[in-house]
Amino acid sequence: DQQVKQNSPSLSVQEGRISILNCDYTNSMFDYFLWYKKYPAEGPTFLISISSIKDKNEDGRFTVFLNKSAKHLSLHIVPSQPGDSAVYFCAASGNFGNEKLTFGTGTRLTIIP
């Protein structure tokens, strides 16, 4: 049972445009959500997070939106840059991040110069 789903395995976006990565979850106990970025031959690295008490969190070019009623979150990258090409994982946790993380299957983002 996949509790965190990323339904798009891959996404290609022109440099300078907006990249939107989506994530859905089924467990209503999840209240803390994170995005990780992974380059080949490296471990995932933390990108941005959001708590269920918010519906938006922004950090530079990265914004995460949370729609609790739809159990959906999205990551917006504006403007997209070639260095953003990577695999992006969303992850979810309960107890405001104090429980184990459950990861999605990942979306490979390719930025086209």
Residues 6+ apart with CB under 8 A from 17: 79, 80
Name which of 80 and 89 has its Cβ closer to another protein.
89
Q: How far is the CB of 17 from another protein (least distance, A)?
A: 26
Answer yes or no: are the C-beta atoms of 38 and 45 closer than 8 Å.
yes
Q: Which is nearer to another protein, 73 or 91 (CB)?
A: 91
Q: CB of 2: closest distance to another protein in angstroms?
A: 9
Six token digits for residue 31: 């209240």
Residue ranges binding another protein (CB under 8 A): 4, 6, 9, 34, 36, 41-46, 49, 89, 91, 93, 97, 100-106
Please tell me the number of Cα atoms within 13 Å of 5 on its side-chain side.
10
